[in-house]
Amino acid sequence: MERYRPRAAAASAMMAGLLAGLLVHACCADAIGRSSFPKGFVFGTASSAFQYEGAVKEDGRGPSVWDTFSHQFGKVIDLSNADVAVDQYHRFNDDIQLMKDMGMDAYRFSISWSRIFPNGSGQINQAGVDHYNNLINALLAKGIEPYVTLFHWDLPQALEDKYNGWLDPQIIKDFATYAETCFQKFGDRVKHWVTFNEPHTLAIQGYDVGLQAPGRCSILLHLFCRAGNSATEPYIVGHNILLSHATAVDVYRKKYKQKQHGSIGVAFDVMWFVSKTNSTDDIEATQRALDFQFGWFIEPLIFGNYPSSMISRVGSRLPAISSSESALLKGSLDFVGINHYTTYYGSNDTSDVIGRLLKDSLSDSGSVTLPFRDGILNPIGDRASSIWLYIVPQGLRSLMNYIKTKYGNPPVIITENGMDDPNPPLINIKEALKDEKRIKYHNDYLTNLLASIKEDGCNVKGYFVWSLLDNWEWAAGYTSRFGLYFVDYNDKLKRYPKDSVQWFKNFLKST
């Protein structure tokens, strides 16, 4: 395998800069940059603790459900785990310098709950607190604002063992204690909090189809999972997550916000959906698809209850929101975080095929969502490496307008956006650094985001790239490369800038 040799780094960086300049001209007829966006608009990169840190057994960290899940045979496509990941636990100073060199304003990272509370509750692990203090201080020393996610899927295994984690309402109290500990320890410097990353993904992937930790489902009589109930557990988990968020926000607002002056939101995973046809059935099914993905989690926090389509179609399997819970939930968002990557077609499930096959929460919407209009030869857009990720830049603008219209134009932060390249076994590093498709992806999505702000009046405040580095991508392991920087997993995790790094340098320097 041909390697990118460090001796050639300076020359290659110069060539990368020239190439990026040419690519900007080639892909972008009307070049945009930082100055195109409103003053104070924040640009950053995003990550998560489990995908980045490694050091899973160091300094008192307790195991998480993802440690357990990733070590089970067959759960990760390349049989890898995140015991080392990209070793940011030890290399964060160098990685922060990479952000600084690019001109990024902010870094969104998550705190590992089991580094703070190895057993999920009880005794605080001071070494974990020290690590995040050091990370936060190092960011601020370089002029980079920390955006901190409290929960990015890595639940302490101790709480899963004790009471099945998110399935038990006891989790609400334990999460609130963990969140308050973070407010106490870090809130004097952290002004932007995200309570949960992608609650919908956690509920569906973890408790409906069982493809992510803790791997619970009941599809085909537990053929794929040893335990679970796909028809009920996703809704129970979603309910407990919502109440955990609102309880933590209530604690923050009553005890810390006046002094610390921070804001709190949720990072929702949101695909955009386009009706496959102009038929009323397909248009209504497309709306239901949005309700069951996005509305499920945002509407209780905006309006105080679940979408009406969910209430009517799920019935008694959907936990009821009491009047006191509604009061707690409603208005508990300072901003709306959006993790957006792709757009699919939506259509009505006329034959109820999904419902008969799966008998799970995914079928409750009665909608079919696919990236193809008429078979696989007619995709909605060009595909990235991941089988699910099709490139449809205008979907981001449509989504911003949907949020503006339906939810009263709240402040929005794009907490994740990006695309991946493959990671073949004999990857040519030099060639892998030429990521023209990623440059075009970000240019086109940012162009549509800018139009939503300038032309449509959408209230968008920031944009975070997923991700700074290639990293461990959950069930995809190391087969997928989302980074602006290439990580050489075969050579001491060395970081090399892809051409997109130079593109972002140019973009962020613009005046």
Known catalytic residues? 198, 416
Distance between CA 461 and CA 475 in Å, rounded?
Answer: 31
Q: Element (H or E) spanning 391, and its range? A: strand 390-391
Question: Angle at Cα 222 formed by Cα 219 and Cα 225, nearest 5°?
Answer: 95
Query: Which structure tokens are listed for 72?
Result: 């089970």
**What is d(CA 361, CA 292) in angstroms, rounded to the nearest whole number?**
9
Q: What secondary structure letter does DSSP report for 217?
A: B
Going by C-alpha positions, the residue among 292, 268, 248 that lies closest to residue 199 is: 268
Alpha carbons 496 and 346: distance in angstroms, whole number: 39
Backbone φ and ψ for 257, nearest 5 degrees, come out as: -60, -40
d(CA 53, CA 379): 36
What's the maximum distance between 2 C-alpha atoms anywhere in the chain? 66
Between β-strands 382-383 and 263-269, what pairing exists: parallel, antiparallel or unpaired?
A: unpaired
- Helix (H/G/I), strand (E/B), else coil: 362: helix
- What SS3 state is found at 189? coil
Instruction: Supply the angle between the helices 170-186 and 233-255 in degrees, to the nearest 10.
Output: 40
The contacts of residue 330 (CB under 8 Å, 6+ apart) are 300, 301, 302, 303, 304
Write the CA distances from 328 to 181, 255, 437, integer angstroms: 21, 16, 44
> Tokens in use for 262?
């921070």
Alpha-carbon distance of 205 to 259, in angstroms, equals: 38
φ, ψ dihedrals at 262, nearest 5°: -100, 175
SS3 sequence of 479-507: CEECCCEEEECCCCCEEEECHHHHHHHHH
Give the three-class secondary structure for 378.
coil
Contact present, 145 and 183 (Cβ < 8 Å): no
